[in-house]
Structure 1
Amino acid sequence: MPDNRVIVYKGPRQVGIESIDYPKLEIPAEVANGLGMQQKAPHAVILKLVTTNICGSDQHMVRGRTTAPVGQSLGHEITGEVVEKGDDVLFVKEGDICSVPFNIACGRCRMCNEGKTGVCLNVNPARPGAAYGYVDMGGWIGGQAEYVMIPYADFNLLKFPDRDQALEKILDLTMLSDIFPTGYHGAVSAGVTTGSTVYVAGAGPVGLAAAYASHVLGASVVIVGDMNADRLAQARSFGCETVDLSKPGDLPDKLEQILGEPEVDAAVDAVGFEAKGHGEGAAEQPATVLNDIMTATRVGASLGIPGLYVTGDPGGVDENAKIGQIGVRLGLGWAKSHSFTTGQCPVKRYNRQLMNLILAGKADIAKAVNATTISLDEAPDAYQQFDQGAAKKFVIDPHGMVAA
C-alpha cells in the first residue's frame, strides 16, 4: 500500500506535511476502547481525496488557540473517491465520488435518529460529537491528506449521482462538507426567510457562505460586517451590503445608514471566540459579536451562531476566556426575547438539498467564497495567507483531479 501524506499541526502558526501509514478499515483505538466497541470497521471506506479545504476552525488550532497537541492531523472538509470498502458497506461502490459531512456520526444513536448528527453519542468517548482532524474530537485522522478512512459510510457519505458532472462542479460541491451547510444552518437558525433583513458578522468563508445562503433563502437585504477590506469586497461581489467595523461608529448607526432603521430581522455570528472589538487596531474582545447581534437585532428574533466557541483556549484574553466563559449580555437577549442556536451544524440536514441546488446550476457558492485551488505541498503557505486575512477559500487538490 502507498504511504499517506497528511497535514499536521507543528506548533503555533506552523503546519507541515508528514507521511503516515495508509489508512485501515479501523476506528481510532481511543474511540473503540473508550466506548467498548470493536476497532475493526467493516462499515467503513477508504477515500482517495479529490478535494479537501482549509477551514477557519483549522486556523484556530494552528494559531495555538486550542489545546491541540503538536502532531495533530488536520482537515475535516472532505470530498473523495471510494477506493476500498468494508464488507458491510452496501450502498456505495468503488469509483463513487462522495461528499463527507465534517461531523462523524454513527447513524444509530438517539441523537442521529433525531437528526442531530453534530452530537452523535457513539464516536467520541470524551463528549458528544466528533470530527476528522480536530482536537478533542475522538482522535480521527484528518482529511487534509491523500487518503482518509470514513466510518459508517452508508450513513455518512453523500454520493454524487454522476461522476463527470461532479468533477465539473467540484469546486462548488467541495463546500458541502462544511461551510455551505454551516452558513446555511446559521441563516436558517437565525430565521432568515423571504424579505428578511440580515446582518452577518464576519466575512470569512463561513460568513460569506451564510450571506450567500441568506440570498438563497430570499432575504431582501444582506449586510456583512468585518474589518478586512478584501473580504468585504468579496461580500459585495455577490450583492451584499457591507459595514467596515474598523471605522468609527456603532453598528446600529451603520445599519440605519443602509436600512433606514438600526435593527435587522435576523443575525448570524460567523466569527466566534477570537472576535475583536470595533475600530482600527481593536484588541480581542470575545463577546463583541454576540453582544453586537443582540443589540442590532429586533425583539423576538433569532440569532444563528455557527461561529466556533471553545471550552479550552490557552490564548484567551483572561482566565475566564481560557475556559470559554465570556462577557455576554444575556440580560439584553432575554429582554428582547431572542432565541439562540449554537453548536456544530448537522450537515446531513442540509447537504443533499444544497447539492441539488449546485447540480441544477442555482448555487455558485465557490465563486461567492473565492475558491482557490492549491496542491497539498502549497498548503503550509496557504495557511499563512489565510491567517493574514486572504479573501480566499483554499481548496487542496492532492491528486491533481481538479480541472484547470
Structure 2
Amino acid sequence: MTGNKAVAYKEPGKVELIDIDYPTFELKDGPGVNPANVGRSVNHGVILKTVATNICGSDQHMVRGRTTAPANLVLGHEITGEVVEVGRDVEFIKVGDLCSVPFNIACGRCRNCKERKTGICLNVNPDRPGSAYGYVDMGGWVGGQANYVLVPYADWNLLKFPDKDRAMEKILDLAMLSDIFPTGFHGAVSAGVGVGSTVYIAGAGPVGLAAATSAHLLGAAVVIVGDLNEERLARARSFGCETVDLTKGGPAEQIEQILGVPEVDCGVDAVGFEARGHGHDAKEAPATVLNSLMELTAAGGALGIPGLYVTGDPGGIDEAAKKGSLSLSLGTGWAKSLSFTTGQCPVMKYNRQLMMAILNDKVNIAKNVNAKAISLEDAPKGYAEFDAGAATKYVLNPNGYLS
C-alpha cells in the first residue's frame, strides 16, 4: 500500500505531520467526519497525487484554536493534483489529468449546484449547506495537505488543465485557482468593481491581495488596500495598489488623502471574524471591518465579504462573539442602501475564466501574493511564519512536483 503523510491540527498553535491511510472510494470515520457521512460510497470520485496544496488563512483560524476543530483533523482545502485512480462511475476525468480542485465540495445534482451556488451544495454535508476539504463542521472530507487525497464527484468538481506541460510552467499561479484567486475575485465582483471604480480592500493577506489583483483585472481606477502589517502593504504596492496603514488610525482620512473624498465606490472585507481595531496597539474588535466599510462605501454601493465569519468561536472576545454575533451598525448600511454578499465563494463560477487569464499571461497572481513552495515537512514552520504575519503564500509540495 502506498504511504500517505498529512498535516494535521493537534491543538491550538500546533500542527504536525502524521501518517494517514491512503484514500479509498469510501468515506471512513475519523476526526471531524460527520457520522452520517461514514461509509458513504464515493465511486464518482478520484484519487489525486497532490501537486500543490496551500496554507490558507482559514486554516489559521482553526490552528489558533478559534474554531471547534477536533484534534488530528487533516488540514488543506486548496488542492491541485494529478489523477492516479478513478472511481467506477467517473466518465470524463482520466488517470494522468492535471486538475485544480475547488475548495467547495459540490454534488452537481442539487438545486443550488444547478444554480451555480456550489458553495452551498445541499448534498455533501449532513449538518448544513456547503462543504470543504479538511475543515471543521464541513462534513468531514479529508484535507489535501497530504501526498494523496480523495475528490468526490470528480467529473463535476475538477477543473482539468488543457495542457500539462504548459500548466506546469505556471503551476504556482494555477495553484491559486482552488481558493484565493476565485475568492478574491468573488469579493471584487460582489462589491461591484468595474471599469473606473474606486475600491477599498480591508486586509492585505493572500485573499486581500487576490481581491486587489482581481480589482485591477476588472478595470478599477484606484485600488486601496488597508492593513496593520507594513510588509503585507508593501506587497500590495508592488503591483500598483495604494495603501492605508491602519496602525496610524482609521482608513477614512488616509483614503481622503488619496482620492480627495473619504469614500470609495466598492468595499471588500478580506479579514473576517478575527478583525482588529485601528491604531498602533489595536486590539481584537470583530465588527471593525464591516462597520468601517459601511462608513466608507458610497451610498448605493456594495460590500463583498469573502472574509470568514463563524457561528462558533471559542476564543471570541465576549459571549456574543463566541456565537458569531457582532455589533454591526446595520442602520448605516440600511440608510445608505448598501448591498452585502457573504459566504463561501462559488469557485466554479470563476475558476475556468481565471485559468485562461493565467495561461494567457493576463495576470501574475503567484507573484502578487508572493507564493513560495515549501516541503510538506516544513508545514509547521510555514504555519508559524504565516501566523506571525509573513507576506507570503505558502504552497506545500508533498510529492516534489514543484521546483
With the length of structure 1 as denominator, give the TM-score of the two structures.
Answer: 0.98
Instruction: Identify the residue that residue 119 of structure 1 maps to in structure 2.
Output: 120
The gaps in structure 1 that reach 5 residues or longer are none
**2:28/2:39 contact within 8 Å kept:** no
Q: Report the 3-state secondary structure (helix = DSSP H, G, I; strand = E; otherwise coil) of the residue aligned with 2:257.
A: helix
2:22 is aligned with what amino acid?
Answer: Y
Q: Secondary structure at the match of 2:93?
A: coil
CA drift of 1:290 comes to 0.1
Q: Equivalences for 1:5-404 in 2 at 5 Å?
A: 5-28=5-28, 34=36, 39-248=40-249, 250-403=250-403
Partner SS for 1:255: helix
1:198-236 CA deviation, whole Å, 9 max, x = no partner? 000000000000000000000000000001000000000
| Letter aligned with residue 64 of structure 2 | R
Name the aligned partner's letter for residue 40 of structure 1.
S
Displacement, 1:39? Answer: 2.1
TM-score by length of 2: 0.98
Tell me, in whole angstroms, the C-alpha distance in 2 between the residues paired with 1:82 and 1:243: 43
Q: Report the Cα distance in structure 1 between the residues aligned to 2:35 and 2:322, rounded to whole angstroms.
A: 29
4+ runs deviating over 4 angstroms: 28-33
1-side partners of 2:186 and 2:47: how far apart?
28
Between the aligned partners of 2:375 and 2:332, the Cα distance in structure 1 is 47
Using the aligned pairs only, state the percent identity: 68
Deviation string, structure 1 residues 97-142 (Cα, Å, up to 9, x no partner): 0000000000000110110000001000111110000000001100
Give me the whole-angstrom Cα distance separating, in 1, the residues matched to 2:40 and 2:57: 31
Following the alignment from structure 1 to structure 2, what is the Cα–Cα distance between the partners of residues 87 and 69?
A: 32
> Conserved in 1, the CA contact under 8 Å of 2:4 and 2:147?
yes
Separation (CA, whole Å) in 1 of partners of 2:294 and 2:28: 41
Gaps of 5+ in 2: none
What number of residue pairs does the alignment pair up? 401
Give the letter for the 2:53 counterpart: T
What is the CA distance between 1:339 and its match in structure 2?
0.2
Question: Partners in 1 of 2:228 and 2:206 — Cα distance?
Answer: 14
1:72 to partner: Cα distance: 1.1
Q: What are the superposed Cα offsets for residues 38-73 of structure 1, whole Å, 9 maximum, x if unpaired?
A: 722210000000000000000000000000011111
Name the CA shift for 1:341/1:357 in 2 (closer, same or farther; >3 Å): same
Cα deviation code 1:270-307 (max 9, x no counterpart):
00000000001211000000001000010000000000
